[in-house]
Chains A and B, each alone.
Chain A
């Protein structure tokens, strides 16, 4: 399956978000791909609050089965969550479990006024009642299990989505 140009997808996503954000909207990227993407959107949309990041390792629902991620990077929320409009940013939306974990974590910092979800690509296969507020590309049919979409960043900072067959 040929994937559209990633830089083009980022521009599409920013265009979709632009009418629905204000300069005070706060972005929170989910490690690692979501953080890279959030950095780009933050610049494209000219938002003033500093960028937040979340590592959902401590909130994952498979901790009991899989244990702790060996290198948790921690979360950084450098703005007041209470009353804020927050957009959670991730590269790929799949089961929805990561989004669930990020929402739970976010609410431990305070009560936002509104939370949206922005993703580059929706690959289908949801296991929870979660959908994206902004999405640059929705795959026409769910990607089979065993195939993975992964955002990669090269030395120049350019982002590329890759399809990986496990």
Chain B
């Protein structure tokens, strides 16, 4: 099978995934306790008003009818209006999701930059001082809850040393990067610990592989053996883990955005759930699910490029 065929098949697989996401989102939102009408009108609303709101939102119709309307809307790019903010959900997502994407992306980059070189050192100096120190440090990072790490970083580097802002998002791209740095580090810590441990054992497994001995027997330079023969093979399994972790990372963004007062999609999601803002919760969940699916797709493509056995 060629790369094109692989891509085609992989893209086709997205279709049922997306349909499934739509069904789950639709059902889940309706299973939430409380109803939007009383959220809008308060506890002492008149029955007539509740009925009117429900009619306006289309919530008085049967579930299948609502679902068909819902799917139609999604495919025309219309995710409805926010009940509490009275603006289109697509508008809200366009405003807030990029912040979360940038945060997640920064966290992923920081995690990789920390994990890959240290995994190499730990693997090649296995069971020596360097290895124990690196693994010990990451173990601490892994065992602390995200919000706690966030608070410590915030206190030390934000409030005490004043190197970084204590919250917000800033203006302009560089300012965004500056504001998101601490939250991104917070988010990256546990991921980098997981990646480091995984890559370390992958490298250890590959270093003793016969093809590495064969590469040495060919008289190749140490660097070439390290990057072409060891790293590339070791990365295959770690890459799969990395792709799966992006979903977790997006979930972790909810907590991190709350701690650092970052106005991203995570915060929006929490606020909308409290406010029973169905359309926003629905739209945001769909957007996040699509984002995760696309990440998985990119991971698969990267993996196919690294490992020819995937496509052939």
Q: Does B bind A?
A: no
